[in-house]
Amino acid sequence: MIPKIKDMVRTDKDLSQAIDEISECIIASLFYFELDSIPKQRNGEYSGSGCILCLRRRSDPALVALIDKLSRSSARFLVCGVEIPGSVRDPPFWDGNGNFRKNITFKVKGEFMISLKDARGREYPISGAPFSVEKLVAAQGLNAYFGTSDHKRKSELVNEDWTLDDSTLQGLEQELPDMLKTFALKMGHSGSAPEDREIMYFVYKHQE
């Protein structure tokens, strides 16, 4: 199956572009957002702070490859459409333990978007975006006396060995229906068969 896909990518420009699109979406989904504390609300506007984190941790060699790719392509994060200054290699994008962590502040009235912009100016939402302040507070357990029921932060609950398991693939299929439809039509599959999951794995590996 994979050799067949590679041949199609080399000869089909539309398919190659679709793979590039999905690859960028997957890369953006490796980043997520956490609040530092419950945002303050005044006159219908929320103001708060938080950080953009990466599922790939310092001990994962894939983090180096990921940052190299983003740096070479001059990728930038945007919060509510406003670009965050600096390169992903810069010290402000890292914590003292060598993990990716970019602190940000925000003022919003409703949902807000955090996205990753590539060299061509295309924007891709990070995992979970667009965000609702209320849902973030609830998801992190910030409105509970001791936080989550087991007192863990989201970063501790995240699977740091992020892999393309069944649940991850199902999520990607739901988030990228139009692009997957392209593959389904090209390959003659429905988009949910085992063969299509192999396609998704190829897409993930395509730009590593």
Is pLDDT above 50 for 162? Answer: no
Q: Under a CB-based contact definition with an 8 Å cutoff, are residues 60 and 30 in contact?
A: no
Helix residue ranges per DSSP H, 149-193: 154-157, 166-175, 177-187
Q: Does pTM surpass 0.75?
A: no
- Percent share of the chain, pLDDT over 70: 61
**Which residues have a Cβ under 8 Å from the Cβ of 35 and sit 6 or more positions away?**
48, 49, 50, 136, 137, 140, 142
- Residue 206: pLDDT band with limits 50, 70, 90: very low
Q: Which of 20-24, 34-38, 77-81, 155-159 has the lowest mean pLDDT?
A: 155-159
Q: Is 169 helix (H, G, I), strand (E, B) or coil?
A: helix
Task: Report CA-CA distances (Å) from 167 to 2, 81, 152, 170.
Answer: 21, 30, 22, 5
46 pairs with which residues across the strands? 41, 108
Q: Where are the domains of the chain?
A: 1-27+162-208, 31-158
Q: How far apart are CA 3 and CA 208, in angstroms?
A: 17
Chain centre distance of CA 42 = 30
92 upstream amide cis, omega within 30 of 0: no
Q: Which two tokens stand for residue 137?
A: 């507070």
Q: What is the pLDDT of residues 89-122, one digit of tens each?
A: 999 999 999 999 999 999 999 899 999 999 889 9
pLDDT of residue 172: 52
Element (H, E) at 32: strand 31-35
Q: What is the pLDDT of residues 164-180, one digit of tens each?
A: 445 555 555 555 555 55
Q: How far apart are CA 99 and CA 45, in angstroms?
A: 31
